[in-house]
Structure 1
């Protein structure tokens, strides 16, 4: 207790004197999840405020429409045509949840995310409603393969319906049940449909080629599949979160706020000016 009191007095006197700049102390009594959540500010502001975010979203759905039309025009199979989309940060925008975390002294949790899903307040990504309804009106069907847990089914269903999206029913809305692996659900769709394209904000939305443990493996998978991006795979921008974040932490999601901040910064390649 005495050491803690002396430490507090020392910090207070130094700040009052204004003569010494204190470095951040590398422990969670100083660097908290509230501090870590400050790192969400710029990505969330970009998503909610920038015209560039809207432009990229429209660009993705315009490209998807072109590819859907090209696929449909040349299709000679005997199955129905489908497209497969992820939900979060692909056709719906959850940045309000990210914004809510800012100034809170905790990170993402299933408890708060479940409340967000139940609220059904996600907004449509720019261009999503128009494109998905275009598909439904032109001979295609939309499957929503999302890793939202099935506990959020009713809130998610109501949210998508209120946004005016098509094919929001038990057959087309495929939430996570026992596994986050989307491949079994993709194969279920392929039993009766040919898939024109996939849309997502996470590489695992497209193929199990991208179920990787490291950035090096991810880069190799990108090279292997590079010709499919913009044709069969349509990527949406999401700078806030994703499997890529886990790779920053060597998949140690339980790391402290201090450790996570340090690991994020360790992946930065900084310029060093000549002295």
Structure 2
């Protein structure tokens, strides 16, 4: 028996005696990023094809307009009024990038995301252009606080201008430079403006209360701030990706495709029929 065959036999025996099966091991090793990307199909299809997704976007911007008008009518301060919005999946739709990943044997990367930003092909979220134009026409200013990296500035600027958004300049377009924490950028706006409302698809778009490490902590933070949703915080739907996904992985974004699949499914609350 060769040394390689002997080592294989020893490894196989160790795995079997410790509760693993060779078929399960082979199945995990065969599970690829391409397999994991198949899980994007339903969320991406819903975002691109369903009228319900469009309706929810219109609903968010209709509600934002109502809250903005109310804030303006009651405003007594000397500062100008501002509205803060995130970019991705808040005012622009990147589902084309998500759809492109389906069928590929790799996931999100800075390289391919950079190419997507440079292409400036994202579409406006339904209702976004009308609402932000309304804000600007009523004397307020729009600030785009996004965690797109500064390397994507020109592509982002080009995209937003092409879609007809207002205030797309260096003062109002606030990309990530040193930290993903948006609080310092929100604070910088608040020094000179009264903030009427914030819009985002991710809880971290609103407050540092939501910079949590677990799903349980995020849910508790939502309960604590529940009165602000629909008033000061306007949430947009994004079933495709977000910080919540990292909490499913306990922060281990580097887990294998098979491990991510298992961790996702382990969080499902499964109904069992009566025997």
Q: Which residue of 2 aligns with 1:19?
A: none
- Whether contact under 8 Å (1:145, 1:185) holds in the other structure is yes
Report if the CA contact (8 A) 1:82-1:143 is conserved. yes
Q: Which runs of 4+ in 1 moved over 6 A?
A: none
The superposition leaves residues 187-211 of structure 1 with CA deviations (integer Å, 9 ceiling, x where unpaired) of: 1101110000000000000000000
Q: What is residue 93 of structure 2 aligned with on the other side?
A: 93
**RMSD in angstroms over aligned alpha carbons?**
1.3
> What secondary structure, in the 3-state scheme, does the structure 2 residue paired with 1:87 have?
coil
What residue is the counterpart of 1:154 in the other structure?
154
Q: Is the 8 A contact 1:24 1:31 kept in 2?
A: no
For 1:259 and 1:26, how far apart are their aligned partners in 2? Answer: 12
Aligned pairs for 1:160-239 within 5 A: 160-239=160-239
Residues 191/131 of structure 1: CA separation in 2 closer, same or farther (3 Å cut): same
For residues 175 and 86 of structure 1, the distance between their equivalents in structure 2, rounded to whole angstroms, comes to 10
Q: Distance in 2 between matches of 1:247 and 1:224?
A: 19
Cα pair 1:93 1:122 within 8 Å, conserved: yes
Q: Following the alignment from structure 2 to structure 1, what is the Cα–Cα distance between the partners of residues 49 and 82?
A: 33
CA distance in 1, matches of 2:121, 2:38: 23
Supply the distance in 2 between the matched residues of 1:159 and 1:114 (Cα, whole angstroms): 13
Mapped partners of 1:24, 1:39: distance in 2: 21
Tell me by how many angstroms 1:215 deviates: 1.1
How far, CA to CA, are the matches of 1:122 and 1:24 in structure 2? 40
**Structure 1 CA distance for aligned equivalents of residues 25 and 43 of structure 2:** 23
Deviation at 1:26, TM superposition (A): 3.7
Q: Distance in 1 between matches of 2:179 and 2:114?
A: 18
Q: Deviations over 1:224-260 (max 9, x none)?
A: 1000000000000000000000011001000000000
Task: Provide the C-alpha distance between the structure 2 equivalents of 1:239 and 1:90, rounded to a whole number of angstroms.
Answer: 12
Which residue of 2 is the match for residue 121 of structure 1?
A: 121
Matched-pair contact (CA < 8 Å) for 1:145–1:174: yes
Q: Which residue of 2 aligns with 1:27?
A: 28
1: CA distance between counterparts of 2:219 and 2:42?
26
- Cα deviation 1:90-139 (Å, max 9, x = unaligned): 00000000000000000000000000000000000000000000000001
Q: TM-score, normalised by structure 2?
A: 0.91
Unmatched runs of 5 consecutive residues or more in structure 1: 4-21
CA distance in 1, matches of 2:64, 2:75: 16
Aligned residue number for residue 273 of structure 1: 273
Shift of 1:24: 9.2
The CA distance in 1 between the partners of 2:214 and 2:101, in whole Å, is: 27
Correspondence for 1:250: 250
SS at match of 1:27: helix
Taking structure 1 as the reference length, what is the TM-score of the superposition?
Answer: 0.91
Number of equivalenced pairs: 255
